Structure 1
Amino acid sequence: MRVIGTAGHVDHGKSTLVQRLTGIDPDRLQEEKQRQMTIDLGFAWLTLGHIQVGVVDVPGHRDFIENMLAGVGGIDAVMLVIAADEGVMPQTREHLAILDLLGIENGVVVLTKIDMVDDAEWLDLVELDIQDLLANTRLHQAPIVRVSAYTGQGIPQLVETLTMLLNTIPPRPNYNQPRLPIDRVFTISGFGTVVTGTLMGGTLRLGDDVELQPSGIRGRIRGLQNYKQSVEICYPGSRVAVNLTGVDKNDIQRGDVLSHPGQIKPS
């Protein structure tokens, strides 16, 4: 299991690209659909070869940079999305700087909206600008793939490139110390509190006692899901939804960490 994230300037086609790759619209909020702009984190999934892949779609607008930070913290690789008609823009640079600070070195640059550019020389110039931008970053070796999410041009090449990249990334280690940095919390009628995140460090099982930090509130796992499928155990490196008993939604916020009791001590 792997998790990839998007990054890039607002309106450069991140969510449209995710929907083209997965068949899932990551923009789930009504306000996002009305404004045609990603505001909060979106989630989707697909299978590449034998690898199950979760996709975290992040907002590109500068006003939602905190949401972007919450989304890219646990990813294995990134798709840095740059629109061919605009090229490198302010949030392209800002998101790239964040990826560099977080040590993310596995990625693909996706040059989107190529259907909107008729000039081949312009595309070549944009690619040169991207190469200059990446030169002194951890993504300096990232391949550039030209695509149109609207027409589908270049999508097979992108799928092939992502598959090859993810096959080179080793599985997440299992230290028998699970921790789940929470990036979303909500309630489902009849089930109660649900949290989601990318699992690290160990496995979570149905019925496990768990603890939230920094609050120290304890609960129990009532249900587990990987990509909308109910499971009894979740492994490191996977996107996980955890249904909790004994914990109220209002006691949890984005950035809290779920673990086994006594495993993590807040500093």
Structure 2
Amino acid sequence: MEIIFMGTASAAGSIERDNTYLLLRSGEARWLIDVGGNPLGKLKQSRTPLDHIQGVILTHMHTDHMYGLASLLWGMWVGGRRAALTIHCSSAGGEQLRAILKAYQVESWPIGFELRIETFDWEKENVLLHESGLELSTFPSLHAIPTVGIKAVTAEGKVMIYSADTRPNERIVQEPRIDLLIHEATKARGVMTSHTSLEDVIRYCPVERIGQVYCVHLTDDEPYLEVLEQYRNQVQGAEKVRLAEDMLLISL
């Protein structure tokens, strides 16, 4: 399984980063987790043909996590896609998603391929797919609106957890095995009501028993490097915590 960080910025935007979203590749499976503002360009950079994308998983319906969806669909239409595309979102966001697609007049392009909108109960854990040696599931996050984190398990049993937007989440702490944790860190320090700071990622998450930790949803001009240096010798495993960059590829 490979994860490409398509974007790593918070909702505030960034000089150099796209808003946070991920591309997951495993065997023949290609899934976008959220869709930032430049999916067509980033997919070209990753050398991923649009026809290879099976679907999109939306963690929640905040604009910075899904505003690139219309651009993605437009590019697929222009490129002549014919295969169906699945979009997973919470049942709380399904009506909003359909309204957005209607506002963009997707059906009148005409789009030329089937859009399958699959909704799930965000308050429960859900297995979205189990194929190509990969299981993808969701679990509730702790954010301002209905939001889910993502768990990916490979055929070899390796586990990736993506927190999505959340304050510190006990569900992640309780996970018995995490080979790769991708966690939001909207600020460098302090306690946040619906997000997590880098300081809290290090102090709250069991970083000593996690294989790799990469932080996303980053905000420009925050003293992240100061925090990493501060905790490097104070918390066991803190040296494994890194800041992700756009187009960084991680293999599990």
Tell me if TM exceeds 0.5: no
TM-score by length of 2: 0.37
**Which of the two has higher C-alpha Rg?**
1
Normalising by structure 1, report the TM-score.
0.35
